[in-house]
Amino acid sequence: MAAEHHPHTEPLSTEQYRASRPNICGPDSGPEEPFPIVMYGLVQPGFGRGSKELGCPTANLPDDAIELMASKCQHGIYYGYARVHQPPHGKPGDLEETEIEVYPMVMSLGNNPYYNNEKMTAEVHVIHEFEHDFYGHEISVLVLGYIRPELDYTSRDALKEDIATDIRVTLNSVARPTYNKYREDAHWTRAQIR
C-alpha cells in the first residue's frame, strides 16, 4: 500500500512512526499534484554530516532553488530523480560519464530536528557511488513523491536505519513504469542553469 501525503507541521517522534513504514510510496498511477516538481541549483557546501556521520553524502541546494517546493510541500522526506551536470567548460576533477547520468534520489526538506538546524534546507542524496564530491556543479532534481514526515530521532542509529529504509522505498517507488518514465524526460534532465 502506498503512503499518502498528509500535512504535518511538527516533527513526529521516532516511535510514533517507524513501526509501520511502507515499502512503496505514491499511487501506482503515477505522481499526483503537486508532483512532479523540478529544482535546479549549484551544489552548496553543507555541514559534512551526511558522509562523515551517516554514511549518506548529500548535495545541498541553494535557498532560491527550494522556494517553489517549500511553498507547496511540508517538511519531510521525498523521492525522485537527480542528475549532476558537467561544468560547461570543464575543470579539474570533472565527473566521469557514468556520474552525469540520471539516478534515483532521496531528499530531505526541512530543518532536520535531530540536528536542530536553524534554517530550512534541501539535502539530496543521489543513489550512486561518486568518486569525488561535486560542490559547485549544477544539479537537476525531479521530485516525484513524498515518503514521510521529519522525525525527531532519539539516536543516530535510528536515523541511519531510517535513511536505509528511505533509500529502499525510493528504489521500489521509482521502479514502477509510471515513475520510471521520468528518468528519461528531457524537459528536466538536459536543463541547466544559465
**Tally of CA atoms within 13 A in the half-sphere of 80 that contains its CB:** 27
Q: For the segment 94-126, what is each residue's pLDDT rounded down to a tens digit?
A: 777 788 889 999 999 988 655 555 678 899 999
User: Does an H or E element contain 158, and which?
Assistant: helix 156-174
Q: For the segment 139-182, what is each residue's pLDDT rounded down to a tens digit?
A: 999 999 999 988 876 677 888 888 899 999 999 999 999 999 99
State the CB neighbour count (10 A cutoff) for residue 143: 25
Output 21 or 169, whichever has higher pLDDT. Answer: 169
Question: Which among 123, 131, 138, 161 is annotated as catalytic?
Answer: 123
Output 173 or 90, whichever has higher pLDDT. Answer: 173
Question: What CATH number should be reported for the domain holding residue 122?
Answer: 2.40.30.30
Residue 10 is a catalytic residue = no
What average pLDDT score do residues 30-37 get? 96
Amino acid making up residue 45: P
14 in a structural domain: no
Report in angstroms the alpha-carbon separations of 102 from 7, 76, 128, 142. Answer: 29, 23, 10, 10
15 in a structural domain: no
18 in a structural domain: no
What average pLDDT score do residues 54-82 get? 89
| Radius of gyration for the alpha carbons in the chain, expressed in angstroms and rounded | 16
4 in a structural domain: no
Do residues 43 and 137 make contact, with C-beta atoms less than 8 angstroms apart? yes
User: Does an H or E element contain 60, and which?
Assistant: strand 59-60
User: Does an H or E element contain 160, and which?
Assistant: helix 156-174
Query: What domain range is 68 assigned to?
Result: 32-189
21 in a structural domain: no
184 in a structural domain: yes
Our count of domains for the chain comes to 1
10 in a structural domain: no
